[in-house]
Amino acid sequence: MNPLNHVAIIMDGNGRWGVKNKNSRNLGHKEGLLAVEKIIKQSIKRDIKYLTLFAFSTENWKRPDIEIAYLFKLLEKFLKEKLSELDKQNIKLKIIGRKKFSLKLNKILKEAEKITFNNTKLQINLALNYGSKNELIDGIKSLNKKNEKITIKNISNNLYTKNIPDPDILIRTGDTKRLSNFLLWQLAYTEIFFEKKLWPDFNEKDYDKILKKYKSIKRNFGNI
């Protein structure tokens, strides 16, 4: 049975779900947040140690300003209302990406990371303003600044995900089969599962089905 420590998820389909069911992309994002809470709880039940969620990409800045503003307001509200609960559940929150947001949001994110820093049950890596190509550029710049040799280990140690094991599983919902500039370095040997359901419809049973399938896969890592 394969060890399972880290699950990464591209939560695709909120906007499409909202248009289809509520005639509003924004309401789809709101519904998607409920799915996030379900999967966090299920990850704890299944003893997952790391959960990386692709929440906002560097490419998402191309969306309408009103949608971007709503997404960040939704995030602010979630952290204000749920941070204490996350802390009580022994959940650590880490932001990965270029932290270039409003002063208000930056303060909220920094405070959330500080409050939950020593928690050990589950680490949630929230990918915000994240793009893997930018991460690699930033990592190489950091490596060069420290005059370190270019090796696999040194590159890994200069990425946003330093000290975080690579994902065992990547799940992408929304019936789209691409990586979308997400964790390109870290996904080298990750098992990838594409799910037809839109993110707000993705539930605990769907999650468990993928976890169970993963555990039955023979992983060779280049060996026989």
Residue 12 designated active-site: yes
Q: In whole numbers, what is the pLDDT of the chain averaged over residues? A: 96
Model confidence pLDDT, tens digit, residues 141-175: 999 999 999 999 999 999 999 999 999 999 999 99
Q: Look up the pTM and report it.
A: 0.96
Residue 201 designated active-site: no
Backbone angles phi, psi at 214, to 5 degrees: -60, -45
Q: Is the pLDDT of residue 60 over 70?
A: yes
Helix (H) / strand (E) containing 171: strand 169-172
How much is the pLDDT for 134?
97
The CATH code for residues 6-130+167-215 is 3.40.1180.10
* Close Cβ partners of 30 (under 8 Å, ≥ 6 residues apart): 18, 74
Q: Is 63 left (phi over 0), alpha (psi -120 to 50) or beta?
A: beta
Q: Which entry of 60, 154, 157, 181 is annotated as an active-site residue?
A: 60
Model confidence pLDDT, tens digit, residues 98-144: 988 999 999 999 999 999 999 999 999 999 999 999 999 999 999 99
Ordered DSSP codes for 89-112: TTEEEEEES-----HHHHHHHHHH
SS3 7: strand
Report which of 41, 40, 50, 46 is spatially closest to residue 168, judged by C-alpha positions.
Answer: 50
Model confidence pLDDT, tens digit, residues 179-197: 999 999 999 999 999 999 9
How much is the pLDDT for 100?
87
pLDDT band at 224 (very low <50, low <70, confident <90, very high): low
